[in-house]
């Protein structure tokens, strides 16, 4: 079973942290994900990652990565690992709203436990959206975002099996809260829902899937 995941969630916490940040903001995070396929199948994953952002007046530039392994609930005979790399730029429209755009590379690596062919599924694309940040008081910020992404994916097999390219889109929404621990350190809790649809060119398969993700992060500004 193939899986393509794409999001631009890095923007929400970084833009919320900008309320308290100076120039740079660094983040470490952990996430728990529940994934489900529109044609059957579920899995869960523990993910971890880090990122770095730079704020200049109303402009924002940032990047980050996420790594993790999936626990499959069916006998697929394969181990599955994931790597994401994000590059994002944003602009603060006013004290509450921001617009952003970004690029992500995502690799899902399937390793066989039953002698079948190993393969990597590489997905990349451009996306954009809006983020909302509401300062509640001197220590709390509520945030949310919505993003739409256009995707291209290609499956690269470890043997001579031809690759299976595809195209599609994803739509994600996210919300959460950020708490200011001290002048330079914040922590955030968030929840995200994302739905994705991929059409594979050679096989003609249309594959919808979605996930719900819960995350916690620690941010430091300097």
In a domain, 174, yes or no: yes
Residue 107 pLDDT > 60: yes
The pLDDT score that the predictor gives to residue 6 is 33
Confidence of residue 181 (pLDDT cuts 50, 70, 90): very high
Q: Determine the 3-state secondary structure of 171 from DSSP.
A: strand
Q: Taking Cα atoms as reference points, which of 101, 9, 7, 19 lies closest to residue 58?
A: 19
In a domain, 3, yes or no: no
Q: How far apart are CA 88 and CA 90, in angstroms?
A: 7
Listed in sequence order, the residues at least 6 apart from 75 whose beta carbon sits closer than 8 Å to its beta carbon are: none
Average pLDDT of span 210-214: 90
In 10 A of CB 40, how many CB atoms?
8
Cβ atoms of residues 158 and 15 within 8 Å = no
Which CATH number characterizes residue 117's domain?
2.40.128.100
With pLDDT > 90 as the criterion, what percentage of the chain qualifies? Answer: 31
Kindly report, residue by residue over 29-63, the tens digit of the pLDDT.
999 998 887 656 678 889 999 999 888 888 888 89
In a domain, 102, yes or no: yes
What domain count does the chain have?
A: 1
In a domain, 90, yes or no: yes
Residue 204 pLDDT > 80: no
**Which residues lie across from 122 on neighbouring strands?**
107, 154
In a domain, 119, yes or no: yes
In a domain, 5, yes or no: no
pTM, to two decimals: 0.81
In a domain, 2, yes or no: no
Q: Taking Cα atoms as reference points, which of 165, 36, 159, 156 lies closest to residue 108?
A: 156
The pLDDT score that the predictor gives to residue 8 is 41
Confidence of residue 122 (pLDDT cuts 50, 70, 90): confident
In a domain, 54, yes or no: yes
Cβ atoms of residues 42 and 35 within 8 Å = yes
Kindly report, residue by residue over 9-23, the tens digit of the pLDDT.
455 555 555 554 558
For 151, the domain range is 10-221
Kindly report, residue by residue over 131-177, the tens digit of the pLDDT.
998 889 989 999 999 999 999 988 777 777 777 788 999 899 999 99
Average pLDDT of span 84-109: 88
């Amino acid at each position: 079973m193939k899986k393509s995941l794409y999001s631009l969630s890095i923007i929400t916490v970084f833009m919320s942290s900008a309320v308290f940040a100076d120039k740079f903001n660094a983040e470490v995070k952990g996430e728990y994900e529940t994934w489900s396929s529109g044609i059957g199948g579920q899995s869960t994953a523990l993910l971890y990652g880090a990122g770095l952002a730079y704020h200049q007046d109303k402009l924002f530039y940032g990047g980050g990565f996420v790594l993790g392994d999936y626990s499959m609930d069916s006998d697929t005979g394969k181990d599955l690992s994931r790597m994401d790399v994000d590059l994002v730029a944003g602009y603060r429209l006013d004290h509450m709203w921001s617009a952003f755009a970004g690029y992500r590379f995502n690799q899902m690596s399937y390793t066989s436990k039953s002698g079948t062919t190993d393969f990597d599924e590489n997905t990349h694309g451009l996306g954009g959206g809006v983020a909302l940040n509401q300062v509640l008081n001197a220590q709390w910020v509520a945030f949310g975002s919505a993003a739409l992404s256009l995707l291209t994916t290609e499956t690269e097999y470890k043997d001579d099996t031809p690759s299976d390219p595809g195209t599609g889109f994803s739509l994600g929404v996210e919300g959460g809260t950020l708490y200011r621990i001290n002048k330079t350190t914040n922590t955030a809790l968030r929840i995200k829902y994302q739905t994705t649809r991929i059409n594979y060119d050679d096989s003609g398969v249309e594959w919808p899937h979605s996930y719900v993700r819960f995350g916690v992060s620690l941010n430091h500004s300097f």
